Amino acid sequence: MNTTECPNCDALIEVRTPIKVGDLVKCGSCHESLVVIWTDPLELDWPYEEDSSDDDEWPYDDEDDEEYEWDEDFETEEDGGW
């Protein structure tokens, strides 16, 4: 029998059936669903949940951005500046 503490409520969790990494276990006290991340000693953690927001997108709204105009006074390296 494997025992460990719930990472959510610190209650003792006893697992009597054979388990493997990736199995889901439910805490009897707080009813939190946890995933087995290690079997000897038994270690549980919250399951990984993919974020529903798209992290590749720019987080700011571009509609309110000001349009920037090219500064004619700006000299580039080609113009002999820098």
| pLDDT at residue 8 greater than cutoff 90 | yes
Which neighbouring-strand residues pair with 78?
A: none
State residue 1's pLDDT score.
79
Higher pLDDT, 13 or 50: 13
Domains and CATH numbers, the chain: 2-45 (2.20.28.160)
Intra-chain end-to-end CA distance of the chain, in Å: 73
Residue 37 structure tokens: 């991340």
Residue 46 structure tokens: 């919250």
Residue with tokens 């000001």: 66
Residue with tokens 């276990």: 25
| pLDDT at residue 77 greater than cutoff 60 | yes
- With beta carbons less than 8 A apart as the criterion, state whether 2 and 15 touch: yes
The tens digit of pLDDT for each residue in 16-59 reads 899 999 999 999 999 999 999 999 999 999 998 766 665 566 55
